[in-house]
C-alpha cells in the first residue's frame, strides 16, 4: 500500500435524540432478510433539502460515485457482503448472547442489528459519515427495535396473557434496546482514540463485525490498528469483503497479506462465495 496521507474526519459520538418519535419521522421503511431499513431515495431527497450537514448526498450524486476518499465512504447504501456475513452467522451459528459488539464501518447497521437480535449485551456502531449515522443507522436500529422488540433481546419476557397495550410496550422495548447502543462517526483511528481516551467506561469488544471496509489499501494501516486497539484479547473479528475492488485496488487477499506482515492477528478465510466477483468471509483473532 502507498503511504498517501489522508486527513480523516474527527470522531464524534452521536447522542440519541430525546424524542424517539422524531427518528422515524418522514422515513419510509423497507425490509430485506427479515430486517427493516430506510428507503434511501427518501433519505436522499431529505438530505438534498438540507438535512445533510456534510453534503455527502449532493457530492455522491454529482460525482456519480459511491466512494469519495476521505469525504464519503459508501455508507448510504447496503453493500452485498453484509448479506454474506448475515448468512454466515446463521450457518456457523455464531453466538452474540452477552457479547460486546462493534459494527465497524456500519452504514445501514444491519450487522449490529443482527447482533442485537442475538441478545448482545452492547452494540456500538461506527460510520465515517455523520449523515449516515443520523439519517440511516439510527433509524434502522429504531425501526428494528420497535417492530421486533421482543426478538431484539430487551430482556423483558412479557406474558402473552397481559392486556394488549401496544404503544407503551413498544416504547419500553425501544428504550431498552437503545440503552445497549452507542453511535460514532469519524475516521477509524480518530474513533478509536475517542473511545480509549474518553472518561466513559470502555471495555474492548468481544466481537467486531465489518463488511466491505477493505476496498482502499491506503486505509489498511488505520483499519488494522483500530482492530488491534479495540478487540478484546480473546475476541474475534468477522470481516466480509470482495476478492478485488476494481478502481480502488484493495481486496481481501491483499488485506490478508497486510495482516500477515504485521504479525499481530491470525487469519482464516472461512467462506468463499464464488458467484460473479469472488467474495469472502475472514475471521481474525490475536496470535
The residues that touch ligand SAM, with contacts defined as CB under 6 A, are 8, 73-75, 78-79, 81-82, 105-108, 127-129, 187-188, 211-213, 219, 222
Q: What's the burial of 204, exposed, middle or buried (CB within 10 Å: 0-12/13-18/19+)? A: middle
The C-alpha cell that represents 7 in the structure block: 486527513
Q: Count the Cβ atoms, other than its own, within 10 Å of residue 71.
A: 16
Q: Count the Cβ atoms, other than its own, within 10 Å of residue 222.
A: 17
The C-alpha cell that represents 216 in the structure block: 482502499
Query: Least separation, in Å, of the C-beta of 162 and ligand SAM?
Result: 38
Query: Least separation, in Å, of the C-beta of 222 and ligand SAM?
Result: 6
Cβ atoms of residues 188 and 196 within 8 Å: no
Q: Of 108 and 178, which has the nearer Cβ to ligand SAM?
A: 108
Query: Least separation, in Å, of the C-beta of 40 and ligand SAM?
Result: 11
Least Cα distance to 178 among 9, 11, 12, 24 occurs for 24
**Strands 181-185 and 231-242, how do they pair?**
unpaired
Query: Least separation, in Å, of the C-beta of 174 and ligand SAM?
Result: 23
Pinpoint the alpha helices (H) of the chain: 40-46, 56-63, 81-91, 110-117, 130-132, 138-147, 166-178, 188-197, 220-230, 252-262
Query: Least separation, in Å, of the C-beta of 259 and ligand SAM?
Result: 17
**Strands 231-242 and 279-286, how do they pair?**
antiparallel
Least Cα distance to 137 among 166, 102, 169, 171 occurs for 102
CA distance 61 to 129: 16
Q: Of 128 and 265, which has the nearer Cβ to ligand SAM?
A: 128
Query: Least separation, in Å, of the C-beta of 155 and ligand SAM?
Result: 27
Q: Of 34 and 156, which has the nearer Cβ to ligand SAM?
A: 34
Q: Of 7 and 197, which has the nearer Cβ to ligand SAM?
A: 7
Query: Least separation, in Å, of the C-beta of 176 and ligand SAM?
Result: 25
Using left for φ > 0, alpha for ψ between -120 and 50, and beta otherwise, residue 155 falls in: left
Q: Of 154 and 213, which has the nearer Cβ to ligand SAM?
A: 213
Cβ atoms of residues 215 and 187 within 8 Å: no
Q: Of 8 and 89, which has the nearer Cβ to ligand SAM?
A: 8
> Nearest to ligand SAM by Cβ — which residue?
105
Query: Least separation, in Å, of the C-beta of 81 and ligand SAM?
Result: 6
Helix, strand, or coil (residue 182): strand
Q: Of 184 and 265, which has the nearer Cβ to ligand SAM?
A: 184
Q: Of 40 and 174, which has the nearer Cβ to ligand SAM?
A: 40
Amino acid at each position: 500500500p502507498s503511504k498517501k496521507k489522508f486527513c480523516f474526519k474527527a470522531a464524534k459520538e452521536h447522542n440519541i435524540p430525546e424524542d424517539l418519535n422524531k427518528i422515524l419521522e418522514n422515513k419510509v421503511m423497507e425490509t430485506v432478510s427479515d430486517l427493516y431499513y430506510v428507503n434511501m431515495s427518501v433519505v436522499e431527497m431529505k438530505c438534498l433539502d438540507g438535512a445533510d450537514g456534510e453534503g455527502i448526498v449532493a457530492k455522491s450524486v454529482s460525482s456519480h460515485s459511491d466512494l469519495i476518499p476521505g469525504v464519503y465512504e459508501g455508507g448510504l447504501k447496503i453493500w452485498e457482503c453484509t448479506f454474506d456475513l448475515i448468512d454466515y452467522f446463521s450457518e456457523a451459528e455464531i453466538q452474540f448472547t452477552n457479547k460486546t459488539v462493534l459494527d465497524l464501518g456500519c452504514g445501514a447497521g444491519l450487522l449490529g442489528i443482527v447482533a442485537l437480535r442475538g441478545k448482545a449485551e452492547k452494540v456500538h456502531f461506527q460510520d465515517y459519515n455523520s449523515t449516515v449515522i443520523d439519517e440511516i443507522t439510527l433509524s434502522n436500529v429504531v425501526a428494528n427495535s420497535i417492530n421486533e422488540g421482543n426478538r431484539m433481546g430487551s430482556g423483558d419476557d412479557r406474558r402473552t396473557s397481559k392486556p394488549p397495550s401496544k404503544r407503551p410496550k413498544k416504547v419500553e422495548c425501544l428504550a431498552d434496546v437503545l440503552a445497549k447502543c452507542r453511535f460514532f462517526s469519524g475516521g477509524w483511528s480518530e474513533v478509536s482514540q475517542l473511545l480509549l481516551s474518553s472518561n466513559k467506561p470502555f471495555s474492548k469488544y468481544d466481537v467486531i463485525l465489518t463488511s466491505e471496509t477493505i476496498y482502499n489499501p491506503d486505509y489498511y494501516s488505520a483499519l488494522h490498528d483500530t482492530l488491534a486497539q479495540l478487540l478484546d484479547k480473546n475476541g474475534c473479528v468477522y470481516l466480509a469483503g470482495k476478492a478485488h475492488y476494481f478502481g480502488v485496488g484493495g481486496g481481501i487477499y491483499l488485506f490478508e497479506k497486510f495482516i500477515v506482515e504485521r504479525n499481530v492477528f491470525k487469519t482464516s478465510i472461512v467462506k468463499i462465495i464464488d458467484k460473479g466477483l469472488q467474495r469472502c468471509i475472514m475471521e481474525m483473532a490475536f496470535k
